[in-house]
Structure 1
Amino acid sequence: MKLSSFVSVAALGALVSAHQANAQSSVTLYGEIDTGIQYLTHADAAGGSQLSMTTGSRQPTFFGIRATEDLGSKTSMVVNLSQVFNSNDGSQFIPGVEFSNEAYLGLTNLNFGTVTAGRHYSVLFDNTIVYDASYFAKYSVFSDYFIPAQNFWVNNSIKYKSPEIAGLSTEFLYRFGGVAGDNRAGRVIEASLKYASGGFAGSATYSGTNGDAGMASEKDIRIAVAAKYTFESITVSGGYENISGSLQLSPAGCTYFGGVAYQVSPALNLSAEIYRYDFRGSNSSATGYVATASYSLSKRTTLYLLGGFVNNRGAANFGLNPYTTTALGQSQMGATIGVMHLF
């Protein structure tokens, strides 16, 4: 072999090796299973009680696949596919949706942040859950439609998360409606500003959702603030949201929540919170009380007990989780005991 050819091949081999070294990739399977036994009063319009097996009461039952590839220059490709399902019968949480939790791909850079495209949690969701003392439990501020069930997830969206600078960070989301002739139909625009320092964290969020085709001029507008402060083993949190606009994914008005979580020991966590939803222009309201006890048997397995009561007045008919309702003005009490395993 000629020297020049040998040098060329060696250089090519070195280039390929360098690319392979820089382009490290990984694929991770992850998830959790949460199954419990639940008792509810006033579980139907006739006021009957219900004893049932339930899923995802403390946290959602799901599995996911996460992939990353290092592209060099502090940049990586990221992919996340996650499916929520019902562990009590194995069915899809949202029938017909294969990856109902998240489904996106994008780029992340240590200096400039992360941009992803696909199905995401809403910005309003991101900036509520971390301030919720019950953290993702069905009996929580989700029950008062602080985040409408329709807006837990946002399809056909682009999401940007900035890096944190001096404690400040931002988050934006835009959903494409995809309706010919009307770019407003189905559009969602959200933005947040967050600040964290020491034991304090807080956020302010705007969320605007236009109606679908034929209702594009109708809009649901939510402006929310939330904060928490951690004193060693105790965290105090709270939030407020103003709901306006003609679309009204939930009635126009104001909703509030406040709670406390106490890490009694490395294994035992206790939390309690109160939420209230006041309808604008009427005496209708919903007030909820929630208590949670979680005990870790290991790093991956947790026993829990949830208890809750919601008092509806007037035209309010909120249930103890965002997927159920009661008769108008009817209260509901519930309790769930269960186990959650992470993998």
Structure 2
Amino acid sequence: MTRSLAALALLGLATGAAHAQSSVTLYGSLDGGLRNLVNGTKGGGAALTMASNGTYNSNRWGFEGKEDLGGGYYARFNLEAGYVLSTGANNNTSNQIFQRTSTVGLGGPFGQVDIGHQFTLQHFLVKDFEPFDFHYLGITESTAISGGVTGRDDNAINYRGIFGPWVIRGTYALGGVPGSAAHGSTFAGGFNYRAALVKLGAGYTHKSNPLSATSSAYFGDDQYTAGGTLSLGPVDAMVGYSLNIQDTPASAKSQTRNQYLWGGLRYQATPFFNVTAAYYDNKNKTAAVDGRKDVAILGIVYLLSKRTELYADIDYTKFTGGYVTNSTLNPSGHSKQTGVSFGMNHWF
């Protein structure tokens, strides 16, 4: 009887272990490329650089883990950091070790919920109709479209549910300010529709931006986005639109309007070679000062293997209005710039 009970206990432990299957994956990307930008300096000369965080793809490394909880449910986590390939330094100016992603979550038949520092809802939404799939981030307008400088939310709760061809999305990011649930917070909702020939997406994001670091007042920041992709054999045609309306402090009694339009074609010529062409237009209006940035870019990628690819691009950027003298958006101060990039990217 004792031996039978012991055997049953061992069988129960083995069954529990079988349900708790888990895995941890180390992954990353290394991008080594050069870029030459005509009119890239204030003196009008060309600027030859090696991008600090990758030209074609962002340099990163991270851990991703998943544990099977049984019944179709699972727990997961993701930690991801950036680095500078040319020097080996951390890409960590904000004193965040895992400044790219830091989440823990739970998934199952209901969908998936992730909590922590993560990409904005805009990022996931736009990915279905972004011509370069968030490559060449230092050249295109993808970063601005997907959520500003970092394209990520702190203190975020992100939901994604896949139901047939529909993907339902929702995000709530806490502001972290005592005594106010709204101050500094973000909430967003959207959807993607995915079929063989067409992909569609639309979403809305609202942020309650602090008036200042010490003020309890805040003002609105709204973004509306929609777009789609039409797939015809080896060719994908993409188009998108996004409008960001941000209130300025009450004393200014005005708004900042950033309108983004983009479109592109992606041609998969062979399983190893593709060509992408895209055009991005950003029109800004702030306190009666207009500015505009237009980017045209043509890029090619050749796969040496499943993990190693060669890339090259040629691009043209034109600034007009207030953008010509904007030192943040246009450090060189020249209205027209032409760039050429080439390099290698490896995944592990």
Is the TM-score greater than 0.5? yes
Q: CA, structure 1 residues 97+235, in 2 after alignment: closer, same or farther (shift >3 Å)?
A: same
- Report how far residue 283 of structure 1 moved: 4.5
Q: Percent identity?
A: 22
**1:242 and 1:254 in contact (8 A); partners too:** yes
Q: Which residue of 1 aligns with 2:320?
A: 313
Q: Where do 1:154-169 residues align within 5 Å?
A: 154-165=153-164, 167-169=165-167
Question: Contact (CA 8 Å) 1:122, 1:151: kept in 2 or not?
Answer: no
CA displacement 1:208-235 (0-9 Å, x = unmatched): 1221342742222110001101111000
Distance in 1 (CA, whole Å) between partners of 2:256 and 2:347 is 36
Cα deviation digits, residues 167-209 of structure 1 (max 9, x gap): 1121111111111122222211111111111121110011112
Contact 1:132 1:140 in 2 (8 A): no
Residue in 2 that maps onto 1:289: 296
d(CA) in 1 for partners of 2:325, 2:10: 65
* Equivalent in the alignment of 1:268: 273
Is residue 154–residue 175 contact of structure 1 (8 Å, CA) maintained in 2? yes
Answer with 149-158 or 69-78: which moved more: 149-158
Indicate how the Cα distance of structure 1 residues 59 and 130 shifts in structure 2: closer, same or farther if over 3 A, else same.
farther
* Structure 1 residue 44 displacement after superposition: 4.1
Matching residue's letter, 2:220: K
Secondary structure of 2:85's counterpart equals: coil
Q: Is the 8 A contact 1:28 1:66 kept in 2?
A: yes
Q: Which 4+ runs in 1 deviate beyond 6 A?
A: none
Alignment partner, residue 277 of structure 1: 282
Q: 1:136 matched to which residue of 2?
A: 134
- Secondary structure in 1 aligned to 2:177? coil
Farther-moved stretch of structure 1 (118-127 vs 148-157): 148-157
CA RMSD between the two structures = 2.2
Displacement after TM superposition at 1:130 (Å):
2.9
1:21-36 alignment, distance < 5 Å: 21-36=18-33
CA distance, structure 2, for counterparts of residue 195 and residue 128 of structure 1: 12
User: What's 1:239 paired with?
Assistant: 240
**Would you say the 8 A contact 1:260–1:271 is kept in 2?**
yes
Structure 1 segments unaligned to the other structure (5+ residues): none
* Residue in structure 2 matched with residue 75 of structure 1 by the alignment: 73
Q: State the SS of the aligned residue for 2:270.
A: coil
SS in 2 for 1:258: strand
1:201 maps to: 199
TM-score by length of 1: 0.90
Task: Kindly provide the CA deviation profile for residues 11-51 of structure 1, in whole angstroms up to 9, marking residues without a partner as x.
Answer: 22111010011111111111111110111133344544311
Alignment match of 2:4 (pick from 3, 7, 10): 7
Amino acid at match of 2:295: G
Equivalent in the alignment of 1:336: 341
User: Which is further off, 45-54 or 303-312?
Assistant: 45-54
- Structure 1 pair 215/47, CA: closer, same or farther in 2 (3 Å)? farther
Q: Say if 2:170 is the partner of 1:185.
A: no
2:228 paired residue number:
227
Paired with 1:10 and 1:318, the residues of 2 have a C-alpha distance of 78
Count the aligned residue pairs. 333
The residue number in structure 1 matching 2:252 is: none
**Structure 2: which 5+ runs fail to align?**
250-254
Q: 1:328 to 1:284 in 2, by over 3 A?
A: farther
How far did 1:114 drift? 0.4
Distance 1:234 1:159, change over 3 A: same
Q: Partners in 1 of 2:346 and 2:217 — Cα distance?
A: 43
Q: Answer with 324-333 or 78-87: which moved more.
A: 324-333
What corresponds to 1:64 in structure 2? 62
